[in-house]
Amino acid sequence: MQRKRYFFYVALVMILLGCKEKYPVYSSFCENNGSLVLPCLHYAVYNQNDKTAIKEALGMEDTPECEYRVELTKYHVGDCNNPVVKSTGSDFDGYVRLEIKKGFTCYYKIQSDYKNDADEAFARVLKQSKKEVKFKKDTKK
Protein backbone atom coordinates (compact mmCIF):
# COMPACT_ATOMS: atom_id res chain seq x y z
CA MET A 1 0.00 0.00 0.00
CA GLN A 2 2.84 2.41 0.81
CA ARG A 3 4.49 1.66 -2.52
CA LYS A 4 1.36 2.67 -4.40
CA ARG A 5 1.14 5.88 -2.41
CA TYR A 6 4.85 6.60 -3.06
CA PHE A 7 4.45 6.11 -6.82
CA PHE A 8 1.31 8.24 -6.81
CA TYR A 9 3.16 11.17 -5.20
CA VAL A 10 6.17 10.76 -7.47
CA ALA A 11 3.90 10.74 -10.54
CA LEU A 12 2.02 13.78 -9.27
CA VAL A 13 5.25 15.73 -8.72
CA MET A 14 6.53 14.77 -12.18
CA ILE A 15 3.31 15.93 -13.81
CA LEU A 16 3.30 19.23 -11.98
CA LEU A 17 6.96 19.92 -12.67
CA GLY A 18 6.60 18.98 -16.30
CA CYS A 19 3.82 21.49 -16.95
CA LYS A 20 5.75 24.69 -16.38
CA GLU A 21 7.69 26.06 -19.32
CA LYS A 22 11.36 26.58 -18.62
CA TYR A 23 12.52 28.71 -21.52
CA PRO A 24 15.35 31.11 -20.66
CA VAL A 25 15.13 34.88 -20.82
CA TYR A 26 17.66 36.60 -23.06
CA SER A 27 18.47 40.22 -22.37
CA SER A 28 21.10 42.67 -23.50
CA PHE A 29 22.00 46.32 -23.27
CA CYS A 30 22.41 47.12 -26.95
CA GLU A 31 24.77 50.05 -26.46
CA ASN A 32 27.23 47.92 -24.44
CA ASN A 33 26.97 50.18 -21.43
CA GLY A 34 26.06 47.38 -19.00
CA SER A 35 23.23 49.35 -17.50
CA LEU A 36 20.62 51.83 -18.53
CA VAL A 37 19.47 54.73 -16.40
CA LEU A 38 16.37 56.31 -17.91
CA PRO A 39 14.83 59.69 -17.05
CA CYS A 40 11.42 58.78 -18.51
CA LEU A 41 9.56 56.27 -20.72
CA HIS A 42 6.86 56.33 -23.37
CA TYR A 43 4.95 53.04 -23.64
CA ALA A 44 4.18 52.44 -27.32
CA VAL A 45 2.02 49.42 -26.48
CA TYR A 46 -1.47 49.14 -27.96
CA ASN A 47 -2.99 46.51 -25.67
CA GLN A 48 -4.05 48.31 -22.49
CA ASN A 49 -3.61 45.23 -20.25
CA ASP A 50 -0.05 44.71 -21.52
CA LYS A 51 0.72 48.39 -21.10
CA THR A 52 -0.53 48.35 -17.51
CA ALA A 53 1.50 45.23 -16.70
CA ILE A 54 4.68 46.79 -18.15
CA LYS A 55 4.12 50.03 -16.23
CA GLU A 56 3.69 48.08 -12.99
CA ALA A 57 6.80 45.99 -13.61
CA LEU A 58 9.03 48.91 -14.57
CA GLY A 59 7.49 51.28 -12.03
CA MET A 60 7.50 54.36 -14.24
CA GLU A 61 4.60 56.38 -15.58
CA ASP A 62 3.97 56.91 -19.28
CA THR A 63 5.38 60.20 -20.57
CA PRO A 64 4.18 60.63 -24.18
CA GLU A 65 6.79 63.30 -24.99
CA CYS A 66 9.69 61.10 -23.76
CA GLU A 67 12.22 60.09 -26.39
CA TYR A 68 12.71 56.61 -24.85
CA ARG A 69 10.04 54.25 -26.21
CA VAL A 70 9.03 50.86 -24.83
CA GLU A 71 7.91 48.49 -27.59
CA LEU A 72 6.35 45.05 -27.09
CA THR A 73 6.32 42.27 -29.66
CA LYS A 74 4.35 39.07 -29.17
CA TYR A 75 5.09 36.83 -32.14
CA HIS A 76 3.40 33.50 -32.84
CA VAL A 77 5.22 31.22 -35.32
CA GLY A 78 1.87 29.88 -36.57
CA ASP A 79 1.33 33.30 -38.16
CA CYS A 80 4.35 32.69 -40.41
CA ASN A 81 3.55 31.69 -44.00
CA ASN A 82 7.02 30.39 -44.85
CA PRO A 83 6.58 26.80 -46.17
CA VAL A 84 9.95 25.69 -44.76
CA VAL A 85 8.96 26.73 -41.24
CA LYS A 86 5.55 25.07 -41.57
CA SER A 87 6.99 21.78 -42.86
CA THR A 88 9.84 21.42 -40.37
CA GLY A 89 8.06 22.70 -37.28
CA SER A 90 9.85 24.40 -34.43
CA ASP A 91 10.86 23.90 -30.82
CA PHE A 92 8.72 26.84 -29.75
CA ASP A 93 5.43 28.47 -30.74
CA GLY A 94 6.61 32.06 -30.51
CA TYR A 95 8.39 34.68 -28.46
CA VAL A 96 7.74 37.79 -26.39
CA ARG A 97 10.18 40.69 -26.81
CA LEU A 98 10.37 43.99 -24.95
CA GLU A 99 12.63 46.75 -26.31
CA ILE A 100 13.57 50.22 -25.14
CA LYS A 101 14.62 52.48 -28.02
CA LYS A 102 15.50 56.07 -28.66
CA GLY A 103 14.57 56.68 -32.27
CA PHE A 104 15.88 53.65 -34.15
CA THR A 105 18.69 53.03 -31.65
CA CYS A 106 18.15 50.07 -29.35
CA TYR A 107 19.19 50.59 -25.72
CA TYR A 108 17.74 47.48 -24.10
CA LYS A 109 16.21 44.28 -25.42
CA ILE A 110 14.77 41.29 -23.56
CA GLN A 111 13.10 38.22 -25.02
CA SER A 112 11.74 34.82 -24.03
CA ASP A 113 10.40 32.01 -26.20
CA TYR A 114 7.32 29.97 -25.37
CA LYS A 115 5.81 26.68 -26.44
CA ASN A 116 2.20 26.92 -25.23
CA ASP A 117 2.01 29.78 -22.74
CA ALA A 118 2.62 33.28 -24.08
CA ASP A 119 1.43 34.81 -20.80
CA GLU A 120 4.12 32.95 -18.83
CA ALA A 121 6.78 34.17 -21.29
CA PHE A 122 5.47 37.74 -20.85
CA ALA A 123 5.69 37.34 -17.05
CA ARG A 124 9.30 36.06 -17.32
CA VAL A 125 10.26 39.05 -19.47
CA LEU A 126 8.67 41.52 -17.04
CA LYS A 127 10.28 39.92 -14.01
CA GLN A 128 13.78 40.03 -15.52
CA SER A 129 13.44 43.56 -16.90
CA LYS A 130 12.30 44.80 -13.49
CA LYS A 131 15.64 43.63 -12.07
CA GLU A 132 17.80 45.12 -14.81
CA VAL A 133 16.35 48.51 -15.80
CA LYS A 134 16.94 51.43 -13.44
CA PHE A 135 15.56 54.95 -13.58
CA LYS A 136 16.91 58.38 -12.65
CA LYS A 137 15.38 59.65 -9.45
CA ASP A 138 13.90 63.13 -9.47
CA THR A 139 16.28 65.17 -7.30
CA LYS A 140 14.42 68.49 -7.69
CA LYS A 141 12.04 67.77 -4.80
DSSP per residue over 11-59, as a string? HHHHHHHHHS----EEEE-TTS-S--EES-BEE----HHHHHHHHHHHT
Across the chain, mean pLDDT equals 76
Above 80 in pLDDT, residue 37?
no
Per the CB < 8 A criterion, the answer to whether 27 and 128 are in contact is yes
Which pLDDT score, from 0 to 100, does residue 141 have? Answer: 34
pLDDT at 47 (0 to 100): 92
Residue 99 near residue 106 (C-beta atoms within 8 A): yes
Q: How confident is the model at residue 133 (pLDDT cuts 50, 70, 90)?
A: confident
In this predicted structure, the answer to whether residue 16 has a pLDDT above a threshold of 60 is no
Task: Report pTM.
Answer: 0.69
Decide if 37 contacts 60 (C-beta within 8 A): no
Domain ranges of the chain: 22-135
